[in-house]
Chain A
Amino acid sequence: MGLEAALPVDGFMTTQLNRVINWSRRSAVWPMPFATACCGIELMATASSRYDLARFGAEVMRFSPRQADLMIVAGRVAVKMLPVLQRIYAQMTEPKWVISMGACASTGGVFDTYATVQGVDQFIPVDVYVPGCPPRPEQLMEGIMAIQKLIDDDNIPYDGEGKRIPLQLALEPNYRPKPQPVDVSVGAT
C-alpha cells in the first residue's frame, strides 16, 4: 500500500469505514478454483511464482466454497457437472463474485454438443467474462483486477434486498503489449 510513508508521525489516519472495508475486501479476494479443463492449467500458472497472483492478494485458493469469495469457472462444464457448480456457488458466502474464464465456460466454446453447458451464465450469475482459449495469465489477472476495481470504487450494484446483481462485464481481448502498469480495459467507473 505504501501507506506507512503517508502516515503522520503520531501514527493514525482518518478514512471512511466503507473505504477500509472495500480495501480489505479487494486485497483478499480468495478464489474458489472450479477448474474442469485446460483453462485450469492456465489458472495454476497464474498462481505460480512467475505470474504470482499473490501480488493481488488472490493467491489463497480455497477448495471450500465457504471460505472463498470469488469463483473462477475455468473450463467446460458438462451438464452432469452443473449441479455441483450450482451447489458450490450457493454455498459461497456473500459478497461473492464469479469469473467465467475462457471460451468454454463463457459460451461452450468449440464443444457445441449435447453434453456441454453453453455458457455457465445460463445457470449461475457471472460477473466477469475473461475471453481466450485459454486466457493468458495476464488476462485472468485483468479480470481479477476488474473485480478489485469495482470493489474499490464501491461500485457494487445491489438490488432492493441487499443482494448483489451480477455485473456481466466482458473484458476486451488485449493482444497488444503495453508498458506496465496496464489499466483494466473494462469501464469500471
Chain B
Amino acid sequence: MSEQRPAVQLDHPTLPLVKEAFSTVPLQATQFRNQTTLIVPSQHLHDIMRFLCADPRCDYDFLSDVTAVDYLGYPAKTQGRFAVVYLLASYKHNRRLTVKTFLDPTIDTTGIDVDPALEVESVTDIWPGCEWREREVYDMFGIRFTNHPDLRRILMWRDYPAHPLRKDYPLRGRGERESYRVIDREES
C-alpha cells in the first residue's frame, strides 16, 4: 500500500474571488475531503467576511457556526495557539466554506486577564445571529470580539476565574465546583 497522499486540489470557486479582491493579504487554503478552509490573518478577517457575505458571486448569507480550537500540544505545527473558526454557507450557490484565523496569546493563559493579542473583530454586524456564538467562544476560550454588542459570559457564571475549554485548564477545574456556600439546617 502506498502512503502517497493525493495532491490537494483547491477547486473551491470562492477562492479565486477572495484572492483577486485581497491581493495584498497573505491567504492560505487547505482542502480535506472536499471541505475547503480559508486561513486569513486576523486583522483582515472582518473585511474578508464582509466581502464573502456581500459579493454576489460569494453570497455566504448564513454563518452556521463560530467556534474555536486550542492547539496546545497539537502534534503538527500551527500558525498560532488558538484558531477561531467560522463555518459559512451560501443558500444561493449551495456552497460551504470554512474560514479560520489564528491567534497567539502574549500573556499567561491560565487566568482571565485581558490579552490584546486574543482579539478579533466581531462579525455580528454582518450576521447578527452569531452574537451568542461569539459569546460562547469568549466564555470558553477567552477570545474577545471587538465591537460585539454584548460580550458577556454565556454558559459559565459571571465571576468564573478561567476559560474552561483552554487546554491548560484541568477538566475538573481548580476547585470552583467545591467553593460554594453550604446550606445546613441552621440556615433553612
A residues adjacent to B (C-beta < 8 A): 79-80, 82, 86, 89-90, 92, 96, 112-118, 122-125, 159, 163-166
In the complex, are the beta carbons of A115 and B185 less than 8 A apart?
Answer: no
Q: Which of A79, A96, A118, A159 has the most chain B CB atoms inside 10 A of its CB?
A: A79
In the complex, are the beta carbons of A113 and B183 less than 8 A apart?
Answer: no
- A80 to B164 CA separation, bound complex (whole angstroms): 14
Chain B, 109-146, contact with A by CB distance < 8 Å: what is the 0/1 string?
A: 00000000000000000000000000000000000000
Which chain A residues border B176 with CB–CB below 8 Å?
79, 114
Chain B, 166-187, contact with A by CB distance < 8 Å: what is the 0/1 string?
A: 0001111110111011111111
Q: Does B188 interact with chain A (Cβ within 8 Å)?
A: yes
Known pairs A80-B156, A114-B171, A164-B185. 16 more at Cβ < 8 A? A80-B155, A82-B180, A86-B183, A90-B183, A112-B171, A113-B173, A114-B164, A114-B174, A114-B176, A115-B164, A118-B177, A123-B182, A124-B182, A124-B183, A124-B188, A125-B183
Secondary structure of the B side of the interface? Answer: loop
Which chain A residues border B182 with CB–CB below 8 Å?
122-124
In the complex, are the beta carbons of A115 and B177 less than 8 A apart?
Answer: yes
Select which of B170, B173, B185 is within 8 A of A125 by beta carbon.
B185
Given A79-B157, A80-B156, A116 and B177 touching (CB < 8 A)?
A: yes
Q: In chain B, what residue has the closest Cβ to A80?
A: B157
Q: In chain A, what residue has the closest Cβ to B175?
A: A114
Q: In chain B, what residue has the closest Cβ to A166?
A: B185
In the complex, are the beta carbons of B177 and A117 less than 8 A apart?
Answer: yes
- A159 to B181 CA separation, bound complex (whole angstroms): 22
Which chain A residues border B173 with CB–CB below 8 Å?
113-115
- A92 to B185 CA separation, bound complex (whole angstroms): 12
B residues adjacent to A (C-beta < 8 A): 155-157, 164, 169-174, 176-178, 180-188
Q: In chain A, what residue has the closest Cβ to B186?
A: A163
Given A79-B176, A79-B177, A90-B188, A115 and B183 touching (CB < 8 A)?
A: no
In the complex, are the beta carbons of A113 and B181 less than 8 A apart?
Answer: no
Q: In chain A, what residue has the closest Cβ to B187?
A: A90
The contact sample of 5 A-B pairs, CB cut-off 8 A, is A79-B176, A89-B188, A96-B188, A115-B155, A124-B182
Q: Which of B177, B180, B182, B183 has the most chain A CB atoms inside 10 A of its CB?
A: B177
In the complex, are the beta carbons of A86 and B181 less than 8 A apart?
Answer: yes
Which chain A residues border B156 with CB–CB below 8 Å?
80, 115
Which chain B residues border A114 with CB–CB below 8 Å?
164, 169-174, 176-177
Q: In chain A, what residue has the closest Cβ to B164?
A: A114
- A165 to B185 CA separation, bound complex (whole angstroms): 7
Select which of B171, B180, B183 is within 8 A of A79 by beta carbon.
B180
- A171 to B131 CA separation, bound complex (whole angstroms): 47
- A93 to B165 CA separation, bound complex (whole angstroms): 40
- A74 to B182 CA separation, bound complex (whole angstroms): 19
Which chain B residues border A117 with CB–CB below 8 Å?
177
Select which of A80, A118, A123, A163 is within 8 A of B183 by beta carbon.
A123
- A123 to B183 CA separation, bound complex (whole angstroms): 6
